Amino acid sequence: MLELPGLIDPHVHLREPGATHKEDFGSGTAAALAGGFTAVLAMPNTDPPLTTQDSLDAAITLASRKAVCDFAIFLGAGEDNIQSATDLAQRVCGMKMYLDQTYGPLRLQQLGSIADHVQRWPKDNPIAAHSEGMSLAAILLIGALYDKHVHICHVSLREEILLIKAAKEKGYRVTCEVTPHHLFLTEDDQPHIGEGRAEVRPRLAAKKDRDALWENLEVIDCFASDHAPHTLDEKDSKNPPPGFPGLETALALLFGAVNDGRLTMDGLIARMYTNPQRIFGIRNQEQTRVEFDPDVRWEVKGADLQSRCKWSPFEGFNLKGKVRRVTLRGRLVFEDGVILAPAGFGVNLV
């Protein structure tokens, strides 16, 4: 048995409030524990989006009542909260900015709004950005001009990871994360996954992009699942929303890379625990550990997942290594597929 620290996933969508048929704080944090995560950082593209004190209060209250693992929440950057965002900075793990079209209406499109948000946001609190292609160049420059910490979400392309590498070499205060799906899947997997189900932002990319992520592993600070559940009915509909669930497959996929010699165990722990904890100022969880059996082989089956969405883009993958037990703050909260923590055991780590 391997003993790991409680892992931290810096990018999850728990869909509450507004879309609890996809996931809620209970089911999403259950999926986290099953995947070896004891803390999840929740995204603000909910309905309503988390851009105001009231919506943030409501989300924190719901999470405190329902979560079975610990959590922190991102504030959304909207056109409506340029003045008020900084007042809420102490209550969140960062501000999230959507600079491109993805799921939900939360998005910033005016250069002036982006610059104002970045200029006003406190220096010690990260700004996480969904920024693909040219928006990546924009947020890197704006962050550097105002000397703010910018964290780039789900990097997927060769030219993006190379730009981030160059920014780091210049001394920019930039960090980044990559998802397991961009490390293990490419556009060639789309037909197999199914057209609607394979919709995700950023899109699955070319082999050269996937390979560039592996070749620039030292530039990648965190692995993030970008757990973005939608139901199968929605994914198989005429208008499929983008997003993959990922909390329950991330660790075994990345552990496979350790077995393959492409990643070290220390490198895995750095990107799934130490770095997310440092980057987002997450409080230490005492007496917390994950017992992981490196020898168990299992097949990914959507129907077996804790996530309410009950499907996976990795359906049918044969993975090696499974979470057996999770102890969170001294209490056994997960054992062999069973959630043992009561609803509301999770606490806010900000």
By the rule CB under 5 A, 23 interacts with Zn ion = no
Residue from 92, 200, 205, 300 in contact with ligand NCD (CB under 6 A): 200
Tell me the residue nearest to ligand NCD as measured from the CB.
243
Torsion of CA 65, 71, 77, 82, to 10 degrees: 70
- Cβ–Cβ < 8 Å for 211, 250: no
By the rule CB under 6 A, 313 interacts with ligand NCD = no
Place of tokens 């770095």: 275
Scanning 20-28, 47-55, 122-130, 132-140 for contacts with Zn ion by CB under 5 A, the matching segment is: 122-130
- Cβ–Cβ < 8 Å for 130, 96: yes
> Shortest approach of Zn ion to residue 284 CB, angstroms?
25
CB-nearer residue toward Zn ion: 134 or 303: 134
71 binds, among ligand NCD, Zn ion, none (CB under 5 to 8 A by kind): none
> Shortest approach of Zn ion to residue 131 CB, angstroms?
9
* Beta-strand pair 127-130/150-152: parallel
Scanning 31-39, 120-128, 236-244, 309-317 for contacts with ligand NCD by CB under 6 A, the matching segment is: 236-244
Candidates 74, 76, 105, 71; CA nearest to 92 is: 74
Burial class (CB in 10 A: 0-12, 13-18, 19+), 39: buried
Is-cis flag, bond preceding 242, omega within 30?
Answer: no
Cα distances (Å, whole numbers) of residue 78 to 67, 104, 304, 322: 26, 12, 37, 39
Stretch 48-107 residues interacting with ligand NCD (CB under 6 A): 102-103
Residue from 27, 29, 38, 45 in contact with ligand NCD (CB under 6 A): 45
243 binds, among ligand NCD, Zn ion, none (CB under 5 to 8 A by kind): ligand NCD
CB-nearer residue toward ligand NCD: 235 or 322: 235
Contacting residues toward ligand NCD, per CB under 6 A? 13, 45, 102-103, 130, 200-201, 226, 228, 241-243
